[in-house]
Amino acid sequence: MGGRTTGRVMQLSFFYKRTQPSGKIRGQQIADYLIAKHNPLDGFEEDVCVYAKRFPPDDPPKNTVVDIVDSRKLIYWVNAHPDAKVIAISKIALNYLKRKLKRDDIYLIPEHHCNFENDLRHPKPVTTVGYMGCRSGSTFPDDMEERFAKIGLKFVYTRKYKTRQDVVDFYKTIDIQVMHRYTRHTATWMLKNPLKLANAGSFGIPSVAYPEVNFIEEFKDCFAEAETFDEMINQCKMLKEHNSYYRTMAAKARLRSKHYHIDKIAPLYKKLCTA
């Protein structure tokens, strides 16, 4: 793959699927922030072309960059195209891809959170826990609503979100975020990232979650760990009943989440134009 074109400042073009959440975040939102091109049909041949969780064409541009996100299939494409640059979405993914691809020139660009405006949860009684995503992808028991209700908490979840504002609006309805997904050290989970923790934390909302490897790597001590659902109930009860504990966990989450604001993440893409 060719390097910088002499006498020309390299531009960025982003290619992504508009229907994918990862495409909207890693493609559309970053391109908007950087005033870069969106899925151009021509005039991009000399640009740095970032393919966000999307396969490049059979004859890729000379300055191709593959943002793998969590797509295992793209690993095989990159292996067959060693001239392409590679982006990892988390520290765990970075180390995994270095081993898998046997190369050290992989760029770490974390995923930015949804809270561009730095909105904060206003102090109020803790009444609601929530989960955003496909409920079938979690290990929540069937009677979880009833079990939360017994400790005075309402459980809400949604998988119906199309825009960043939809995500922001959901987080403004909850006081605690909960996540519980048993994971294994497979490629799928090694390519995950702590976006959910960063999203909630950016609002000053604490999370109670199963200690996934990427959560521990990037948010250690900034979320309440719960390996079992009973532990999750207990942690939520403590957050509800002990205001000092809630404030401490919320402050830790918010401080860590500042590293994932788009103002800090988007400029990392510019380094692809000078490497």
Domain 12-109: top CATH class: alpha beta
Contacts of 91 (CB under 8 A, 6+ apart): 108, 214, 217, 218
Q: Which of 83, 78, 77 is nearest to 63 (CA)?
A: 83
Domain 128-260: which CATH class? alpha beta
Confidence of residue 5 (pLDDT cuts 50, 70, 90): very low
What is the residue extent of each domain of the chain? Answer: 12-109, 128-260
pLDDT for 251-265, tens place per residue? 999 999 999 999 999
- How do residues 111-169 score in pLDDT, each as one tens digit? 999 999 999 999 999 999 999 876 555 677 788 899 999 999 999 988 888 899 999 99
Phi-psi region of 109 (alpha: psi -120 to 50; beta: other; left: phi over 0): beta
pLDDT-derived band at 174, boundaries 50, 70, 90: very high
- 244, 196 Cβ separation under 8 angstroms: no
Asked if pLDDT for residue 216 goes beyond 70, the answer is: yes
| Distance of alpha carbon 22 from alpha carbon 17, whole angstroms | 8
Topology alike, domains 12-109 and 128-260: yes
Among 38-42, 56-60, 160-164, whose mean pLDDT is lowest?
160-164
Are 98 and 152 contacting, i.e. CB atoms less than 8 angstroms apart? no
Q: How many CA atoms lie within 13 A of 239 on its CB side?
A: 32
Percent of the chain beyond pLDDT 90?
Answer: 83
The count of C-alpha atoms lying within 13 angstroms of the C-alpha of 122, restricted to the half-sphere facing its C-beta, is 3
- What pLDDT, on a 0 to 100 scale, did the predictor assign at position 10? 77
